[in-house]
Structure 1
């Protein structure tokens, strides 16, 4: 393997554990400069994404001695739910930080979710065996399954799985106003999955979501229950057994926002339908959304109100959406981006 000036490590680091640290240290041993790509940046907090990009960057920083910190750059990167675009975004980000398009990618093939490591040719790839018997999913489960008074016991069980600095960080983080809501949502999702555990095969859920734009605004609802209670989302829901996709989209729109328009008005306003089917787009399980895009044109904003599963409904200026990314449910910001072009290419 030829000498390189830049090594790259990619991960979500939720939380940062000893396996992650081993990859970063191997990268530091191979190159004078290391870029750590923080995946799933800008996601709303959830049991899958409890720690913000800034918090994960701090966990990484605290785990390294000062001399090594100076050699590490952190690149937060949003999920794009499109592997080709995402790989190019990683490459572009590394080149922007380092000035070179050559790098050594250091990683571990954990399971099928690690196949993206093969997509970075002509970068060199250093595939390492598993460094520690630790999994971030299990660490999060231990944290969310425990009672508040058991926090010290949970962190003690992490002693051979995470750096001491990560335990200290999570101990302090647990006193911020996030953990109780995450535990509640975790319990809901766990119950949801258990309800389907007896199915003869893994369920695949079919849903609809609706993008309605009007006079420079888009219609959003604020979710009234878990998962994602309090987050902003598109109106939508599950397809009923006797509905077509279009019928389900119109029904969910009316049920959650009270928006009622003449059938011909909606039909003329339909601009397209896109399918969102990334395997990891929903914490509830494999969920495929058929998202309908309506443009009502330049007219007075119709009256709406939150009802059914929606705590609120409002017309949001499209110009304000980019600042709301971390407040959006699941991949709904990326649905909006698909139709409205919110994120500049590259």
Structure 2
């Protein structure tokens, strides 16, 4: 008999490796059902997060025995860059998912609360989230192997071909056979070719300042301009994130104030023709976004300026400089397409505009 009604296993699974599958085996032994929380969901592909939550679910299922697949539920969870908000979202998602398999409605709510365990291992600071669920019993199993998903991703991107000895050794040692086959097929996809180029660009970018005596801290500015229920967005014209949607912005120039840099980037990337007096009138607030993991380029702290032009006619815009294009996008539409955004720009928009992106329960399992 299982000790718990459900066990929760949280990870990014980029990709799932042997350590993940061993921990999942512990979860299946401990509970009748397992909820796998797929982190970093609902965002654009990037070298650190190359797989969608649906692809990660497919890899896990391919590595499971058929009987075990029926006992595993999946909860995609996006990054909030706000631990308290993320913890609450995980709690709510797990509760709704378990209620749905218990029949939902008043009957599920009236019954006894399910006994839930949290399966994990305190590896380093990235495991601190395990302490944020005190009402779930923590099953702190020892680390299952020395496998690291970063090692697997790096081997995939670095190998010139599928027969590369290092790639073959890494895949054989660190991922289940079903995942190995999936990764070798993925290496021939258009998504992989694009991500590999971006991986090479980011590697060279980091190497350019690797010899600095201290880890550099980069300062950027971003502008959230809204008007008549629309937001001004650009499509990035260069890597990283080429083709993705973003707020107009860029790096702080040495002789600019933050305000000056913000207005300069707005003009250069969108050609929006407003005077400084008009910008001052439309200015609402500025917020700092400084999560250590918000950018793959390095530690990047941005100052996001919020402007509201009210109900004037939408000013004409045109992409320029680093922007492939610029356009006014309805706010209602933005909440439905978080996967189209660069880095944490969807999160920035969410903070200012209270966007919601809920996934129907039928999509979770």
The two structures have a TM-score, normalised by structure 1, of: 0.96
Q: For residues 212 and 156 of structure 1, do their structure 2 counterparts lie closer, same or farther at Cα, with a shift above 3 Å needed? A: same
Instruction: Give ranges in structure 2 of 5+ residues lacking alignment.
Output: 100-112, 360-365
Taking the aligned partners of 1:306 and 1:148, their CA distance within structure 2 comes to 38
Superposed displacement of residue 243, structure 1 = 1.5
In the alignment, which residue of structure 1 is the partner of 2:269? 256
Which piece of structure 1 moves more, 273-282 or 102-111? 102-111
Q: 1:13 Cα deviation (Å)?
A: 0.3
Measured against aligned partners, the alpha-carbon deviations of 1:69-109 in whole angstroms (never above 9, x if no partner) come to: 11110000111110001001111111111134641111122
2:279 paired with 1:279: no
The residue aligned with 1:106 is 119
- 1:110 is displaced (CA, Å) by 2.3
- Number of the residue aligned with 1:90: 90
Relative to structure 1, the CA distance from residue 297 to residue 150 in structure 2 (aligned partners, 3 Å threshold; closer, same or farther) is farther
Distance in 1 of aligned mates of 2:350 and 2:165: 42
| Corresponding residue SS for 2:77 | strand
The 5 A counterparts of 1:75-224 are: 75-99=75-99, 100=113, 102-148=115-161, 150=163, 154-224=167-237
Determine the C-alpha separation between the residues in 2 that align with 1:270 and 1:298.
14
- SS for the counterpart of 1:191 is helix
**Does structure 1 residue 311 correspond to structure 2 residue 304?**
no
| Structure 1 segments unaligned to the other structure (5+ residues) | none
Q: CA RMSD in A?
A: 1.7
1:8-60 CA deviation, whole Å, 9 max, x = no partner? 00000000100110111000111111100000111100101101000000011
The 1:304/1:148 distance shift into structure 2, 3 A limit, reads farther
CA distance in 1, matches of 2:339, 2:163: 30
Q: What CA deviation, in whole Å up to 9, does each residue of 1:155-213 have, x standing for no partner?
A: 45311210000011112222321111111100110011111111111111111111001
2:4 match: secondary structure: coil
SS of equivalent to 2:40: strand
The aligned residue for residue 240 of structure 1 is 253
Cα deviation, residue 153, structure 1: 6.3
Matched with 1:64 is 64
Counterparts of 1:150 and 1:224, CA distance in 2 = 34
The question of whether the paired residues in 2 share the 8 Å contact of 1:95 and 1:101 is answered with no
CA contact (8 A) 2:6 2:114 kept: no
Deviation at 1:151, TM superposition (A): 6.3
Name 1:270's counterpart in structure 2: 283
The answer on whether the counterparts of 1:94 and 1:101 sit within 8 Å (CA) in structure 2 is no
Measured in 1, the distance between the counterparts of 2:92 and 2:267 equals 42
Contact 1:204/1:286, CA 8 A, preserved across alignment: yes
Matched residue count: 345
8 A contact 2:9–2:27 mirrored in 1: yes
The farther-off stretch of 335-344 and 286-295 is 335-344
Give the match's secondary structure for 2:56.
helix
- Aligned to 2:38, the other structure's residue is in SS state strand
Counterpart of 2:17 in structure 1 is 17
Paired residue secondary structure (1:220)? strand
